[in-house]
Structure 1
Amino acid sequence: MTRRIAFLLVPGVHLLDLAGPAQVFGTAGAFGYPYELHYVAERELVPSAQGLPLQAGTVWPELGPDDLLIVPGWLVPDPPAVTPLPLFDPASLDALRAHHAAGGTVASVCAGAEALAAAGLLDGRRCTTHHDLQDDLAHRYPRAQVVRDVLFTTDDRVVTSAGIASGIDLALHLVAGHHGPAAAAQVARDMVVYARRNGHEPQSSAMLRHRSHLDDTVHRVQDLIDARFAEPLPLSVLAAAGGVSERTLTRAFARATTGLTPLRYQQTLRVERAELLIGHGATIEAAAREVGFDDARMLRRLRSRTTSDG
């Protein structure tokens, strides 16, 4: 199923706020995860904050519950105006509200949170924005629950990010949610980016945290573990996939991942997937079976070890 991603652009849009998420979804599309990107504005020609004019459509694509509407940030005066000029006409704010009401996801990068707030979508919800804009957002929209110093937040299909490069983290998080963390890791690796961990959200996974190295052999083995982490994967099978001996793989893996063995990496993926399932209502027994454990005892032990390590 193709997912439509609609970017709502305003004059003064920051190029990286737009290009970062667009690159993530575009790269995911190149790997066979179907995304269709649309760019919408109230006028066809949109000047960017960096001086490059952008061409956008003025007619909204038809969006369904599985689609995403995202508002990149724009250049904000320093200090922000006490009463900022309205950047969106009522029709655009209605489109944001209607998409969310129909079951769709809305997102923002940096100052784009202003649009979600103006549409009433941040009322009573956790959100964030660029650190320079957090106080202003909290002051003007007191019903918004502004979370400080995090990369992004998610709350009831409303996703907000801190700004600039964090839009990439947000988009990788959404790709992981749609297609699994292996897909996000594949995109992150191709883009040569390292998706940082959000202190308040279980951001995408160890697949991203332990993919910042440059060892192609270890990456090949991680590709296999990422795709089949719920299956038994003997060290001999992993070493054969990497084209090296078991001893060489163990040493290279530990060096590339700061001390992890292939088994510990696989267990970490299993635990993180189980935590996601439990967070969505699964019992610990059901989650354990889903990620490849015979029963819940091993999962309980590994969860306890993860908590004590953290």
Structure 2
Amino acid sequence: MGRVVFLLLPQLHLLDLAGPAQVFSAAADSGLDYRQSFVAESSEVVTAQGLPVRADVDWPDLDPADLVVVPGWRSPASRAEPAQPATLRRLVAHHAAGGTVVSVCGGAYLLGRAGLLAGRRCTTHHELQDELARRYPAATVLNDRLYVVDDRVATSAGIASGIDLALHLMAVRHGPALAARIAREMVVYARRNGHERQDSAMLRYRSHLSDVVHRVQDVIDERFTEALPLVELAGVARVSERTLTRLFDASTGLTPLRYQQLLRVERAEHLIGHGVAVEAAARAVGFTDARMLRRLRARARSTHSVG
């Protein structure tokens, strides 16, 4: 699965680090081979909350499957350089080799200094967005996102949104069922920034308190590539088909079938983005051919352009 390397800068925010680290730790506890490393330019880093943390000064060898995560730090918009040029070159080299670079909150400023935001969409904390856009005009800073992923550069908004981004990365890499289990374990179904968009269907439609609907979503998350008749899902929930449809709509605004279709399209988009042909991606997520996938992708694009 790969290594997750956290780059720790002086005055880093603890939750920027701890939130995503908890997600990847939970993934490792689930049996995935995620190994976490913590690197810095000095062996001890004092956080913005006053707690000193230890780090390695030597970077591990990185593969394209690895993630490099840059947590935010206090006053990232200052003109002081938080990292040496050699550190910035490491970020650039990892991305150029096919790796993914992630920022939490103000960590986007370091990605901007490394040149990784040029020509890409990104986001950061709402109090930092305007300055990020002024400082890096070649970037497209989006003000209405919890996180943005663009060409293996992933940026997230305010401090706790690093959890949402890490769960999204889990969902696209390993499927929504694993991400849902981790989210449930961490008790983070509710979106902390409810007015902002979020690109993961698994998370977007889990911000409710219906145990019946959660149980059905668990089944759909686990088996979204299969045909799942409504009668079977109603049996899992131990309610009638009519009651399940009513509860599902009240909790998510969707039918069970529409929720399943969104999961399929998300997974297909991930496969297509990694070079899989549309026909093959359609079959891999459970469609008999690519016609339905093309219609659903077109509908999603139309919805996003309107919204």
- Of 185, 189, 195, the residue aligned with 1:194 is 189
| Partner Cα distance (1:198, 1:33) in 2 | 31
Structure-2 residue corresponding to 1:147: 142
Percentage identity across paired residues of the two chains: 64
Amino acid aligned to 1:186: R
TM-score by length of 1: 0.83
Structure 1 residue aligned with 2:199: 203
Alignment partner, residue 23 of structure 1:
22
CA distance in 2 between partners of 1:247 and 1:110 (Å): 43
- Mapped to 2, the partners of 1:124 and 1:300 lie a distance apart of 27
CA shift, 1:232, in A, is: 1.6
RMSD of Structure 2 on Structure 1 (CA): 3.1
Contact kept, 8 Å, 2:144 with 2:197, in 1: the verdict is no
Alignment of 1:37-48 (within 5 A): 37-48=36-47
Aligned to 2:59: 60
CA distance in 1, matches of 2:194, 2:64: 26
Q: Is residue 2:177 matched to residue 1:178?
A: no
2:262 pairs with one of 268, 277, 285: 268
Letter in 2 for 1:240: G
Aligned counterparts of 2:70 and 2:292: Cα–Cα separation in 1: 43
**SS of corresponding position for 1:190:** helix
* Aligned residue identity for 1:185: A
Given that 1:66 and 1:105 are in contact with CA atoms closer than 8 Å, whether structure 2 keeps it comes out as: yes
AA matched with 1:75: R
> For residues 62 and 283 of structure 2, what CA distance do their matches in structure 1 show?
36
Q: 1:70 is matched with which residue?
A: 69
Q: Specify which of 93, 102, 107 is matched with residue 98 of structure 1.
A: 93
CA contact (8 A) 1:150 1:198 kept: no
Secondary structure class of the residue paired with 1:142: coil
Question: Where does structure 1 lack aligned partners over 5 or more consecutive residues?
Answer: none
Q: 1:185 to 1:136 in 2, by over 3 A?
A: same
In the alignment, is the contact (CA less than 8 A) between 1:41 and 1:56 conserved in 2?
yes
**Is 1:118 matched up with 2:117?**
no
Q: Distance in 1 between matches of 2:294 and 2:134?
A: 43
Cα distance between partner residues in 2 of 1:296 and 1:38: 41
| 1:237 equivalenced with 2:245 (yes/no) | no
CA distance, structure 1, for counterparts of residue 299 and residue 107 of structure 2: 39
Q: 1:128 to 1:43 in 2, by over 3 A?
A: same
Alignment of 1:213-224 (within 5 A): 213-224=208-219
Structure 2 residue runs of 5 or longer lacking an equivalent are none
How far off its partner does 1:247 sit?
5.0
- TM-score by length of structure 2 reads 0.84
| Secondary structure, aligned partner of 1:91 | helix
Note if contact 1:44-1:55 (Cα within 8 Å) is conserved in structure 2: yes
Q: Matched residue pairs, number?
A: 303
Matched, 1:32 2:31: yes
Q: Deviations over 1:99-118 (max 9, x none)?
A: 11221111111221221122
Report the Cα offset of residue 76 of structure 1.
0.6
Q: Does the aligned pair in 1 maintain the 2:172–2:266 contact within 8 Å?
A: no
**Letter of the 1:107 counterpart:** V
In the TM superposition, residue 216 of structure 1 has moved relative to its aligned partner by 3.1
Shift of 1:31: 2.2
